[in-house]
Structure 1
Amino acid sequence: MKQVSVTISNEYGLHARPASLLANTASQFTSEIRIVKEGKEVNAKSIMNLLLLAAGKGTVILVSADGSDESDALEAIRFLIEERKFDEK
């Protein structure tokens, strides 16, 4: 299992559109992918679970992946959140 901490930096945080992008990205991998915010852990492949995190701008989350493609999964998610900023501002 591997983990990476990332900061939500888009203007409106993890609302419906970014949650959908994140869940779709996570679903491309066979690894189990989990996200933890302030002790609450959810399945990254579930849009509803991601929305329940209520992760606003500036929130630091821990992303973990366990499986054969865990490194690729973590890099894709990190890139989506920190570099692409969910394709928002």
Structure 2
Amino acid sequence: MPARTVEVASASGLHARPAALFSQAASEQSVLVTIETAGAAPVRASSILMLLTLNVDHGDEVTLRAEGEGAEEALDALAALLEKDLDEEFPDR
């Protein structure tokens, strides 16, 4: 199963706006994507509520996993999103 480990760049981690933007992008992928932190079970990346339960802060590492046709592309797109400070990239959302 393809995976990507990424350091979260958003100043607020995966809370509020960044979590909403990330979960929306994950729901638009053609494959199911999960996200996990060290010591926590994987959750659906498309679920904002599940993302918030991970309590991911700025600089924390998360691992994304997906399987199936389009998994590599989905992981690349979502990893690139997490590597941006979404609070600054989309201030009005």
For the criterion TM > 0.5, the same-fold answer is yes
Structure 1 unmatched runs, 5+: none
8 Å contact from structure 2 (residues 8, 57) kept in 1: yes
- Alignment-derived partner of residue 86 in structure 1: 86
8 Å contact from structure 2 (residues 17, 87) kept in 1: no
**Which structure has greater strand proportion?**
1
Q: Map 1:8-87 onto structure 2 (within 5 A).
A: 8-40=8-40, 41-82=42-83, 84-87=84-87
8 Å contact from structure 2 (residues 34, 66) kept in 1: yes
Q: CA deviation at 1:11?
A: 1.2
TM-score (norm 2): 0.86
TM-score (norm 1): 0.90
Q: Report percent identity of matched pairs.
A: 35
Secondary structure in 2 aligned to 1:88? Answer: helix
Q: Calculate the aligned-residue CA RMSD, in Å.
A: 1.4
Mapped to 2, the partners of 1:2 and 1:53 lie a distance apart of 21
Mapped to 1, the partners of 2:71 and 2:85 lie a distance apart of 21
Secondary structure in 2 aligned to 1:62? Answer: strand
8 Å contact from structure 2 (residues 26, 33) kept in 1: yes
AA partner of residue 51 (structure 1): L
Structure 2 unmatched runs, 5+: none
Q: Which runs of 4+ in 1 moved over 6 A?
A: none
